[in-house]
Amino acid sequence: MTDYRGVWTLTWTGWKPLPFSINLYGQWIAFSRGGAPNFYSAYPGAVEDFRSGEEFNCGPCYEDEDRQELPTIRDSLEQLEGYKQEALKRLKVVLDNYLGRS
């Protein structure tokens, strides 16, 4: 777990297999320490706020016409780390925008 700007605790959930598939998904979760909302960044998937009990959008996103790759069990550790870091980068942009630090 990692502190982010004293407002959120960031946690990586790890890679999990999609049922009946070779594809994987994982999320960064930003748990609020106070009045700010919780957020998640799924890869593949969206970056959104959430409330306890809600499901995350883990479908591939098409932001800025860039297609997200679908991680698989055949990907190298370096490829998986790249996807993980991309999800973290997207999450930090949303968190900074929430705080007005763009």
Q: How far is CA 3 from CA 32, 43, 69, in A?
A: 10, 21, 28
Q: What is the pLDDT of residue 67?
A: 67
Number of domains in the chain: 1
Q: Identify the burial level of 40 via C-beta atoms within 10 angstroms of its C-beta, where 0-12 means exposed, 13-18 middle and 19 or more buried.
A: buried
User: What per-residue confidence (pLDDT) applies to 102?
Assistant: 54
Which pLDDT band, with edges at 50, 70 and 90, does 8 fall under?
Answer: very high
Range of the structural domain that residue 15 is part of: 2-98
Highest mean pLDDT among 32-36, 55-59, 84-88: 84-88
